[in-house]
């Protein structure tokens, strides 16, 4: 008898047809990467993995964060033998302290003589008899749902041994994105949601030294590091942005500052993606959230993009975004006070309905290409794990 971790994967992976093997392999590889340093073995068995590991609690913390994992259960493995199954079932039901129970059997191995129904009935009868009136069967809403899965061995667990996984699709299976990561609440959540759908994450942060402090930069590094818990190593590109901003302030109209700045952020993210072979750009914008995130504002910044721009929070309310931030542990870091490069140079009356043609015209006074290339040439790269 030994304890194992049972990993069930997201049902979407079942639907992937011919790609399914690719998805399964990626998921398995990703789990193995996250378990590095522990003493483990992964056994694939018909749509699930059984993981034998010495450090079971630590392994669970790591596996439940792997995208594509729907559920993890701590299961007890016993011989494929009715006596052993009954004993373990009784022990688990008793330990659960429940007043009602139900047995759910899945006989994947037809060498076992009793079918699923017969097994449930026989084990249930045994538990009832041995618990001597302290428990009853409730098939609709049992306090203790005891699962028996019969394969090469028999695996047993209850609803209390189940932990919800991160869901989504295996990281790295769906191309790559350059996330514009600020120190705020939104962009880390946007990055998490993209990564959760299998998109490999890279981050760019625009730093306005000396107007934004080292502390602001450290905050963004911390956020990227939290995101890296769910992904693999994440590259954070720290791009100096002061020269760009100074040039805009000098040459453009005050009410256009924010929007032109945002256009530069977009251009730099795209140029950087181009150099690094990254497919898309992602931001934490949500329609209507602030003055620069009007429909017109989004259209005008997208105008500078040469690849798809994903805004996974576009239709979400701030409250819902904050809930996710709390869940993924970025919230506490995001709310630390810091200076944002956008809050330093805010016009008194920002344009809320900018027009593409007018912005292009304003920018004709700037050497756009030179500003973009210089910013990228002077960037700093930090790898976070």
Compute the least distance from the CB of residue 182 to Mg ion, in Å. Answer: 4
Residue 318 beta carbon to Mg ion: minimum distance, rounded to whole angstroms: 12
Nearest to 277 by CA among 353, 381, 175: 175
CA of 78: how far to CAs of 56, 71, 104, 124, 150, in Å? 18, 21, 16, 17, 10
Nearer to ligand ATP, 173 or 199 (CB): 199
Question: What residues line the site for Mg ion (CB under 5 A)?
Answer: 182, 184, 340
Three-class SS state of 382: strand
Q: Interface with ligand ATP by CB under 6 A: which range of 41-49, 117-125, 181-189, 354-362? A: 181-189
Task: Measure the CA–CA gap between 340 and 338, rounded to whole angstroms.
Answer: 6
Nearest to 334 by CA among 179, 187, 177, 178: 187
The gap from C-alpha 328 to its chain's centroid, in whole angstroms, comes to: 8
From 247, 256, 271, 285, residue interacting with ligand ATP (rule: CB under 6 A): 285
Q: Which of 290, 314, 346, 356 binds ligand ATP (CB under 6 A)?
A: 290
Residue nearest to ligand ATP (CB): 184
- Could you say whether residue 271 binds ligand ATP (CB under 6 A)? no
User: Cα separation of 128 and 133, whole Å?
Assistant: 7
- Among residues 105, 119, 182, 362, the one that binds ligand ATP under rule CB under 6 A: 182
32 binds, among Mg ion, ligand ATP, none (CB under 5 to 8 A by kind): none
Q: Is 262 annotated among the ligand-binding residues? A: yes
Q: Is 284 annotated as a binding residue?
A: yes
DSSP assigned state of 193: H
Q: Which stretch binds ligand ATP (CB under 6 A): 84-92, 144-152, 169-177, 282-290?
A: 282-290
Residue 293 known to bind ligand: yes
> How far apart, in whole angstroms, are the C-alpha atoms of residue 256 and residue 184?
22
The residues in 311-340 that bind ligand ATP, with binding defined as CB under 6 A, are 340
Rounded CA separation 127/52 (Å): 28
Binding mask 185-224 for ligand ATP (x = CB under 6 A): xxx----------------xxx------------------
181 lies in the binding site for ligand ATP (CB under 6 A): yes
Tell whether residue 89 is a contact of ligand ATP (CB under 6 A): no
C-alpha 240/C-alpha 379 separation (Å) is 6
To ligand ATP, the closest distance from the beta carbon of 242 in angstroms equals 11
Distances (CA, A) of 307 to 43, 155, 197, 262, 274: 40, 48, 19, 16, 9
Q: Which residue lies nearest Mg ion, judged by its C-beta?
A: 184
Task: Tell whether residue 261 is among the known ligand binding residues.
Answer: no
Among 341, 371, 375, 384, binds ligand ATP (CB under 6 A): 341
182 vs 245, beta carbon nearer Mg ion: 182
Q: In whole angstroms, what is the distance from residue 108 CA to residue 106 CA?
A: 6
> Is 256 a residue that touches ligand ATP (CB under 6 A)?
no
How many residues bind ligand ATP, per CB under 6 A?
A: 20
- Report, in Å, the least distance between residue 321 CB and Mg ion: 12
How far apart are alpha carbons 150 and 148 in whole angstroms?
6
Part in contact with ligand ATP (CB under 6 A); list of ranges 5-13, 74-82, 278-286, 365-373: 278-286
CA distances (Å), origin 74, targets 60, 159, 164, 266, 349:
9, 10, 12, 46, 58
Phi, psi of 50 (to 5 degrees): -110, 130
CB of 343 to ligand ATP, least distance (A): 8
Question: CA 366 to CA 252: how far, in whole Å?
Answer: 9
- Site membership for ligand ATP, residue 177 (CB under 6 A): no
- Measure the CA–CA gap between 15 and 28, rounded to whole angstroms: 17
Binding-site residues from annotation for ATP: 180-181, 205-206, 262, 284, 293
Binding-site residues from annotation: 180-181, 205-206, 262, 284, 293
* Residues engaged in binding ligand ATP (CB under 6 A): 180-182, 184-187, 204-206, 265, 283-285, 289-290, 292, 340-342
């Amino acid at each position: 008898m030994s304890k194992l971790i049972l990993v069930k994967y997201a049902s979407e992976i079942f639907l992937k047809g011919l790609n399914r093997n690719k998805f399964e392999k990626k998921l398995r590889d990703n789990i193995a990467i996250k378990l590095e340093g522990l003493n483990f073995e992964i056994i694939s068995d018909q749509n699930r993995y059984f993981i034998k590991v010495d450090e079971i609690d630590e392994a669970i913390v790591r596996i439940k964060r792997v995208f594509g994992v729907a559920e993890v259960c701590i299961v007890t493995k016993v011989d494929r033998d009715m006596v052993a199954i009954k004993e373990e079932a009784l022990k688990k039901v008793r330990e659960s302290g429940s007043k009602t129970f139900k047995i759910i059997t899945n006989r994947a191995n037809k060498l076992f003589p009793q079918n699923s129904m017969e097994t449930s009935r026989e084990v249930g009868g045994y538990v009832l008899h041995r618990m001597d009136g302290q428990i009853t069967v409730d098939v609709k809403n049992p306090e203790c749902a005891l699962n028996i899965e019969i394969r090469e061995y028999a695996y047993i667990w209850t609803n209390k041994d189940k932990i919800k996984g991160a869901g989504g699709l295996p990281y790295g299976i769906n191309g790559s994105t350059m996330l514009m990561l600020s120190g705020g609440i939104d962009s880390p959540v946007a990055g998490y949601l993209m990564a959760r759908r299998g998109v490999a994450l890279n981050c760019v942060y625009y730093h306005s030294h000396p107007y934004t402090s080292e502390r602001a930069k450290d905050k963004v590094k911390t956020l990227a590091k939290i995101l890296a818990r769910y992904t693999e190593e994440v590259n954070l590109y720290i791009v100096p942005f002061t020269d760009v901003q100074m040039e805009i302030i000098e040459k453009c109209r005050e009410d256009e500052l924010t929007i032109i700045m945002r256009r530069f952020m977009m251009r730099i993210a795209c140029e950087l993606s181009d150099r690094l072979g990254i497919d898309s750009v992602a931001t934490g914008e949500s329609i209507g959230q602030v003055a620069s995130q009007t429909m017109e504002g989004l259209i005008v910044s997208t105008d500078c993009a040469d690849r798809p721009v994903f805004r996974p929070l576009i239709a979400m309310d701030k409250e819902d975004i904050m809930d996710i931030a709390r869940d993924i542990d970025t919230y506490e870091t995001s709310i630390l006070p810091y200076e944002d490069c956008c809050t330093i140079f805010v016009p008194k009356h920002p344009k809320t309905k900018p027009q593409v043609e007018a912005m292009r015209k304003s920018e004709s006074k700037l050497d756009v290409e030179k500003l973009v290339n210089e910013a990228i040439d002077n960037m700093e790269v930090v790898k976070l794990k």
